[in-house]
Amino acid sequence: MDLSTVPASSLSYGKAVDAYKKAAATAATVTAYAVLARGMARELLPDELRDAARWAASFLLRGAAGARAFVIRRYEDDGRGDNALFKDARAYLATKVDPHAMPRLCLSRRRRRRGNDDDDGYGGACGGHADNGGGGGQVLSMEVGDSMDDVFEGAEGHYKEAASLELTFDAEHTDMVLGRYIPFITANVEEARRRERTLQIFSSDNGGSWHGSSYLHPATFDTLAMEPVRKRSVVADLDRFLKRKEYYRRIGKAWKRGYLLYGPPGTGKSSLVAAMTNYLRFNLYDLDLSNVNSNSTLQWLLTSMPDKSILVVEDIDCCFSARSRGGLDKSGVVQKADERTSDAPAPPNKDHLTGDGMTLSGLLNFVDGLWSTSGEERIIIFTTNYKDRLDPALLRPGRMDMHVYMGYCGWEAFKTLAENYFLVDDHPLFPEMQKLLAEVEVTPAEVSEMLLRSEDVDVALQGLTEFLREKKQGKQTGEAGQA
């Protein structure tokens, strides 16, 4: 044969075949044959054939070791409801789809829906939930009749989709599949759903109803100017909370967590609420207590909140000002704080009214009692500018799990703002600014406002530096006047 007429690719293919023939003749053990077979397949078979060979080999091996098939039906046994695990498994598999490896793909586009409903159409008809590659809510998933592999803790599982989803693992992995793999899938899908969720903010009206609208607040923990250690501890606390469903169940406590955010006006308490909302992807329920006229209205509002939601009561000290800062006149009528002649805080009384009949103790009881058991995975946030004016009942250990101080703008917080506004992490004015920030009390809101004044970083930082110098000057003048 004239080798010059044979294409180069055929030449190397022929050589490879010869080499494998020789090696096979000398291979002495089963292992050696296996290694050789793998190498031959890699070099000699086209991609599609190789995939088929791999699938057939793994199928045979599974058969040899004793396979265990787990059938995940589309509907519950009584045929009346969807099987949540079926949806979860399909959504999970959608995240694993490699469009280049599957012969057929189910393609759909996700319709974004609002709200907390976990069952909100991830993957549309195909049940997948990942925007796996195409963007624009495009979802790829396994088509009925096709199959996919997955590897978990080194063990290989095989899915086949028909009317049900059939998952096959080596029988020896049965406990691992039931104990860890299936919970892993559920957790994985829940986390993806959480991240994908579009958010709503609900406000209470005085008729005792919630009214929702889209929540598009852009604040995140990245944009939040805050002491890094404090910020990390809030994020870690939220992470811990999310993971602790079983823990809360075991210790017999409702799966809820309370945060009290306190600090001067303009230090970012509302921004932190927004960052927490965006981080958790829970809907936000903004309770305006001045609209709540009775405990029964409050009860209705709170118990109608779904799981995975955040209740926020801003300026909680003002809500109960009639009690905390007001007092009873001789006739027993509540005197509003602004009607009082003295500034001295009145003795706190947790039974006092904020409206016609809503009490602080009512609120706290619902939060600790009825409300806490009427749902799961809920966050309650109170904010205040005046922690010292709060009723001790609110501050009692165990009531608000975490107290977070939002303070004046320090150097680290300023660096976050400078990076957010101008993408700079250094500037000739920084050393002076660092010194000034340690000497004066300026809120992140004031700093943000100064930074917004110009798009030119030099101009904006110069303006802020002058502002800080003036503050320092004013402080020194004030101190001198007092001396």
Query: Is residue 227 within 8 Å of 412, Cβ to Cβ?
Result: yes
Shortest distance, position 408 Cβ to ligand ATP, whole Å: 10
Q: Does 220 bind ligand ATP (CB under 6 A)?
A: no
The interface region with ligand ATP, picked from 100-108, 268-276, 302-310, 392-400 by CB under 6 A, is 268-276
**Tokens read off for 244:** 């602790």
Q: Does 268 bind ligand ATP (CB under 6 A)?
A: yes
Given the complex with ligand ATP, which of 146 and 227 has the nearer CB atom? 227
Dist CA 219 CA 236 (whole Å): 18
Options 110, 269, 308, 350; binder of ligand ATP; rule CB under 6 A: 269
Lookup result for tokens 């003036």: 470
Instruction: Name which of 205, 191, 157 is nearest 58 in CA terms.
Output: 157
Binding to ligand ATP in span 76-135, by CB under 6 A = none
The Cα diameter of the chain in Å comes to 119
Lookup result for tokens 């044979």: 6
Given the complex with ligand ATP, which of 157 and 444 has the nearer CB atom? 444
Query: Is residue 450 within 8 Å of 467, Cβ to Cβ?
Result: yes
Given the complex with ligand ATP, which of 39 and 264 has the nearer CB atom? 264
Lookup result for tokens 């500037």: 427
Residues binding ligand ATP: number (CB under 6 A): 15
Instruction: Name which of 396, 286, 386, 407 is nearest 337 in CA terms.
Output: 386
Given the complex with ligand ATP, which of 186 and 220 has the nearer CB atom? 220
Given the complex with ligand ATP, which of 142 and 219 has the nearer CB atom? 219
Edge-to-edge, what's the strand order for the sheet holding 67-72?
Answer: 67-72, 165-170, 155-161, 147-152
Binding mask 437-466 for ligand ATP (x = CB under 6 A): -------xx--x------------------
Instruction: Name which of 401, 190, 218, 220 is nearest 308 in CA terms.
Output: 190
Options 72, 167, 226, 313; binder of ligand ATP; rule CB under 6 A: 226
Residue 482 — φ and ψ, nearest 5°? Answer: -75, -30
Instruction: Name which of 456, 446, 428, 383 is nearest 225 in CA terms.
Output: 446
313 Cα distance to chain centroid: 21
Shortest distance, position 313 Cβ to ligand ATP, whole Å: 12
Instruction: Name which of 121, 128, 158 is nearest 143 in CA terms.
Output: 128
Given the complex with ligand ATP, which of 321 and 448 has the nearer CB atom? 448
The interface region with ligand ATP, picked from 83-91, 118-126, 218-226, 338-346 by CB under 6 A, is 218-226
Q: Does 228 bind ligand ATP (CB under 6 A)?
A: no
Q: Does 302 bind ligand ATP (CB under 6 A)?
A: no
Shortest distance, position 415 Cβ to ligand ATP, whole Å: 12
Lookup result for tokens 């406990």: 175
Dist CA 161 CA 159 (whole Å): 7
Binding mask 160-189 for ligand ATP (x = CB under 6 A): ------------------------------
Q: Does 231 bind ligand ATP (CB under 6 A)?
A: no
Q: Does 224 bind ligand ATP (CB under 6 A)?
A: yes
The interface region with ligand ATP, picked from 108-116, 177-185, 196-204, 267-275 by CB under 6 A, is 267-275
Shortest distance, position 354 Cβ to ligand ATP, whole Å: 19
Q: Residue with CB nearest ligand ATP?
A: 268
Options 132, 141, 168, 267; binder of ligand ATP; rule CB under 6 A: 267
Shortest distance, position 78 Cβ to ligand ATP, whole Å: 50
Shortest distance, position 273 Cβ to ligand ATP, whole Å: 8
Dist CA 477 CA 6 (whole Å): 95
Binding to ligand ATP in span 381-420, by CB under 6 A = 385, 406
Q: Does 265 bind ligand ATP (CB under 6 A)?
A: yes
Given the complex with ligand ATP, which of 266 and 327 has the nearer CB atom? 266
Binding to ligand ATP in span 303-322, by CB under 6 A = none
- Which letter does DSSP use for residue 454 in this model? -
Shortest distance, position 476 Cβ to ligand ATP, whole Å: 26
Dist CA 373 CA 389 (whole Å): 29
**Tokens read off for 178:** 């039931």
Shortest distance, position 57 Cβ to ligand ATP, whole Å: 57
Lookup result for tokens 């086949």: 160
Contacts 24+ apart (CB under 8 A), 358-362: 358/289, 358/292, 358/293, 358/294, 358/295, 358/297, 358/298, 359/295, 360/320, 360/323, 360/391, 360/393, 360/394, 361/393, 362/295, 362/298
- Which letter does DSSP use for residue 196 in this model? H
Catalog residues that contact ligand ATP under the rule CB under 6 A: 224-226, 265-271, 385, 406, 444-445, 448
